Structure 1
Amino acid sequence: MQSINKYTFKSKALFFLSLLSVLFFASCEDVVKLDLENGPTKLVVDAEIIWQKGTTGNVQVIKVSKTAPYYNNTTPKVSGAQVKVENSNGDIFTFNETEPGSYVCNNFVPVLNMEYTLSVTAEGQSFKAVEKLTSVAPIDRVEQEIHKDGVGDETIEIVYYFKDPADQTNYYLADFKSDFLLYPEYILTDDELYNGNEINNRFTNDDDKIVPGKTIDITHRGISKNFYNYMKLILEIYGGSPFSIPPGNIRGNIVNTTDPNNFAFGYFRLCEADKVSYLVK
């Protein structure tokens, strides 16, 4: 399917393994640590409002942290921030800090196609972002298939199907999670060539770890065109978990209203989602 892009962590892992192999054989005695330049510290706002079908969607979480040098093993959490979301009716939903850097709202009201404004005040800076809550076509069914490669080796593919609405342009983001994956695998989809038709997304694993008894968790989201373009750029550059470490200077929709040059990383998005757990047979 031309309009589907799939990204995994594996491409980056292989790159670093190759790099480490070169360094190892170049010097078996010296420990090599690359001297990487550290950029300015930036605020990171992980703000996904996700409304799972069949739930009220009232509990939502927004995380606020900071960028850190590459070799740091921890992500600096930002405490004491003020976080709220306001809808176009003027209703305000306050997110209270429940643990360092994690802000929770227990009375959020999701409404499809309604506009919401995120406001974050942290460390003397104010940030805002505006986005609409995007609907999603439900998952109709999940199947598994046997895929044979050119030499006859067989692997299991997990395939889910959904019917794309014909009266609108749609963009989708899916992630697949399982206990054998270090990071989720992501698929971006648009309906440019398949508007109004049934679309299927396929998940397979090159290491043959999709075996009977494994559970695959699928989250299928409706997303805006702007977020689609943002995710496409991030996944093309980074190829892995898109919210753990912001790659490069890719700017989202979060604007610093105190100092426009001191922008934050992250993207405020509101997605309706359908979730399915599939047990491999």
Structure 2
Amino acid sequence: MKNYIKLLLALFTVALTGCEDVIDVDVQTDTLRLVVEASLDWEKGTTGNEQLITLRTSTPFFDTESTNVTGAEVSVTNNATGEVFLFTDQNNGTYTTSTFEPQLEATYTLEILYDGERYIAEDTMNPVPDITDIYQDTEDGFDDETIELHIVFTDFEEEGDNYLFKFERPQDLLPTLETGDDEFINGNEVDWWYEIDDDEDEEIQPLLPGDVVNISMHGISRSYFNYIDIVIDQMGGVGIFEATPVDVKGNCINTTNPDNYAHGYFRVTQTNKATYTVQ
């Protein structure tokens, strides 16, 4: 009887093995495009002279090779003064300068010459208020047992301010990004709170004592606000209440061949940074 059972198992294994077929799946590919990571952030209390821009090409789904772009010519111009800041190719996809001079309310133009084509982008540097206090409690969030962080600042008197907040713990795969404007808070003291929802499927835990949270607050242009707001919606995934994924175009225009636009965005911001340890 045991030998009979062993024979059946062997035949079943052979049958399964014989049913294996190689299936070729056509994966949809998109045009390879230049990807621009150009965030010139002037942290308060620093000169802001040292800045970095990263260039690469978009990556096919199964491609594991490096897509860093080298050999490009990269510069940023202050439109008001005409001063040009050249970024040096580090031969690893990064381009750096140590001479950038940030100026509030100034508009800057990025120019990239790559593979015979010219890309340009523009953004204006907006001021950011001082953070006057950071504290924690459990009273204002969606869960009265979950710790939330509070960032306190006073919005500027003139209307039209836009903000980007970035919260990041070392153990998190991705930071949390949030946007805000002063439509309903203009000129007032603002208490901006941040809470993490417990998500067992994604292995994300709420804020716990001992957690270190790195905080960035940026003063951003309205055009960048509109762009990053869509990006944040896309990061939420696809579900009943989430946004449908779309091709999000940044502000980098190809003046040589407009159809061959670049991904990414050129932004210039003034920034506050702080680190908070949850108690």
TM range, smaller chain: 0.7 to 0.9
- TM-score, scaled relative to structure 1: 0.81
Aligned residues: 246
Unaligned runs of 5+ in 1: 1-28, 241-246
1:112 and 2:104 correspond: yes
1:164 and 2:155 correspond: yes
1:213 and 2:210 correspond: yes
Q: Return the letter of the residue paired with 2:207.
A: I
Equivalent in the alignment of 2:234: 237
Q: Return the letter of the residue paired with 1:57.
A: G
CA offset digits 1:40-99 (Å, max 9, x no partner)? 111011111100000000000001011112344566111111100011211111111224
Residues 156 and 93 of structure 1: is their aligned pair in 2 closer, same or farther, counting only changes over 3 Å? same
Query: What percent of counterpart residues are identical?
Result: 35
Written as runs of structure 1 = structure 2, the 5 A alignment for 1:141-160 is: 141-147=133-139, 154-160=145-151
Unaligned runs of 5+ in 2: 1-19, 199-204, 238-244
Q: Aligned-residue CA RMSD in angstroms? A: 2.4
Structure of higher RCO (CA pairs closer than 8 Å, 6+ residues apart): 1
Equivalent in the alignment of 2:249: 251
Q: In the TM superposition, what is the alpha-carbon distance from 1:133 to its structure 2 partner?
A: 1.0
Equivalent in the alignment of 2:184: 193
Equivalent in the alignment of 2:27: 36
Q: In the TM superposition, what is the alpha-carbon distance from 1:232 to its structure 2 partner?
A: 1.0
- TM-score, scaled relative to structure 2: 0.81
**Counterpart Cα distance in 2 of 1:179 and 1:134:** 28
> Runs of 4+ in structure 1 displaced over 3 angstroms?
29-36, 71-75, 147-150
Equivalent in the alignment of 1:126: 118
SS at match of 1:234: helix
Equivalent in the alignment of 2:70: 79
Residues 234 and 30 of structure 1: is their aligned pair in 2 closer, same or farther, counting only changes over 3 Å? farther
SS at match of 1:252: coil
Equivalent in the alignment of 2:16: none
Determine if contact 1:162/1:200 at 8 Å carries over to the other structure: yes
1:227 and 2:224 correspond: yes
SS at match of 2:265: coil
Q: In the TM superposition, what is the alpha-carbon distance from 1:239 to its structure 2 partner?
A: 2.9
Residues 53 and 148 of structure 1: is their aligned pair in 2 closer, same or farther, counting only changes over 3 Å? closer
